[in-house]
Amino acid sequence: MLSKPILLRLHRWITFVFALPLFVVIATGLILSFEPMTESRKPATAPTEARLLELIRTHDPQGAAVSLTIRGRDDTLVLGAPGRLMEIDLASGAVRAGEPSTLAALYRWARPVHERLILDMGWVVIASTVALLVLAVLGVLMGWPRLRNTLGGWHTVSAWSLLPLVILSPLTGLMIVMGLGNSPPLQGGGGSRVPLVEAVAMVARQHDVADLSSIRSRGGRVMARVVIDERPVAYAMTRAGLQPLAANWPRSLHEGNWHLTWGPLANAVVSVLFLALLGTGLTIWLRRTLRLRAVRRTKLAATARA
């Protein structure tokens, strides 16, 4: 069994080595925490089936669009075709000119950085996530925290207070990378592409299209996401109709999609906690390093005078 000083040293050095990628991943995760809450909110101009079909046929007469997203926070329909996105105002039906909104641009920037950093370095994100789990395990092995009104005391007590969430967030991230929780292949026509106009009509036969959040391809299938009681429910779009998909709990927990209010807030709290732990941990390490250097200088000065 490793002694506490060795565990503490490992804890400090792992934090130091992975500090920068962890900061980037956690900070972008904090930004993305609010995406389900803002992006899946119902629009003020509730769309009908006829209105959605009219807008799709008007702005995508060739049927090139492969995804549809209803962005409730600014009453926008987003049609995605290979190489381009088209943002359409639900009320007026006009294409929004210029760049996407600041919040939409922020989410689009944060997601690839969160998953792959800047230079497609997904392996660094995975290594940092594993390091975060190792740090949590090392913290547990070092024993119960002492209730002290010091930076170190607050650091350990905060980590122990929300320990399940501290472990769950990086663990579910790794599970997503490993493909755990994905729905099994569909039987009977799951792989054929369903045009958007047919997909919208398919959703309308079972749900109010005002609750439709998105239609897009993922994992080799076309999926629709419908918001029911503040919770997104996923369906596979097939020629046979809508087929409900089992909840992907690792993704739901990691992205906060299990509830559109409490899920994002829980993820935001965890992200702030991670940033606080990272900041206080580095501060403690820096203080200790400077203090030890000062002690060494004092000893060397005393030795020189002797």
Same domain flag for 18 and 121? yes
pLDDT tens track for 108-135: 899 999 999 877 888 999 999 999 999 9
pTM: 0.85
For the chain, what is the domain count? 2
* pLDDT band at residue 295 under the 50/70/90 scheme: confident
Most confident of 21-30, 64-73, 90-99, 144-153: 21-30
* DSSP letter (8 states) at residue 291: H
32 and 18 assigned to the same domain: yes
The DSSP bridge partners found for residue 228 are 231
Say if residues 205 and 58 touch (Cβ distance below 8 Å): no
Tens of pLDDT along 188-197?
545 556 788 9
57-60 long-range Cβ contacts below 8 angstroms, 24+ apart? 57/197, 58/93, 59/86, 59/88, 59/95, 60/86, 60/196
Q: What is the Cα–Cα distance from 306 to 293, expressed in whole angstroms?
A: 20
Encoded tokens for 141: 């092995």
pLDDT at 185: 59
> In terms of domains, do 111 and 214 share one?
no
Mark whether 110 and 177 lie in a shared domain: yes
Within-domain flag for 95:
no
Q: Which residues, including other chains, have CB under 8 Å from residue 142's CB and lie 6 or more apart?
A: 4, 7, 8, 11
Q: Order across the sheet with 231-238: list the strands.
A: 84-89, 76-81, 67-71, 212-218, 221-228, 231-238, 241-244
Residue 74 lies in a domain: yes
Q: Angle 122-141/163-177 helices, nearest 10 degrees? A: 150
Q: Which of 247, 268, 283 is the last residue of a domain?
A: 247
User: Cα separation of 166 and 272, whole Å?
Assistant: 11
Cα distances (angstroms) measured from residue 223 to each of 1, 194, 244: 49, 10, 10
Q: How far is it, in rounded angstroms, from Cα 82 to Cα 205?
A: 28
| pLDDT exceeds 90 at position 100 | no
Spatial separation of the C-alpha atoms in residues 253 and 256, rounded to whole Å: 5
Whether residue 187 sits in one domain with residue 175: no
Cβ contacts of residue 129 below 8 Å, gap of 6+? 25, 170, 173, 174, 177
User: Does 254 map to a domain?
Assistant: no
Q: Does residue 200 lie within any of the structural domains?
A: yes
Q: Contact 158/147 with Cβ under 8 angstroms? A: no
Name the residue among 276, 261, 200 with its Cα closest to residue 230: 261
Judge contact between 226 and 211, C-beta under 8 A. Answer: yes
Same domain, 170 and 120: yes
- Rg value, the chain, Cα: 25
In the predicted model, is pLDDT for residue 35 greater than 70? yes
100 occurs within a structural domain = no
Q: What is the pLDDT of residues 199-251, one digit of tens each?
A: 999 999 999 998 999 998 876 778 999 998 888 899 988 777 888 888 889 99
Residues 196 and 289 in one domain: no
Give yes or no: residues 83 and 164 share one domain: no
Write down which residue in 198, 214, 247 finishes a domain. 247
Same domain, 187 and 177: no
Domain membership of residue 62 as a residue range: 46-90+183-247
Rounded-to-integer distance, Cα 6 and Cα 68, Å: 53
Per-residue pLDDT tens for 238-261? 777 888 888 889 999 999 988 889
- For residue 252, being part of any structural domain is answered with no
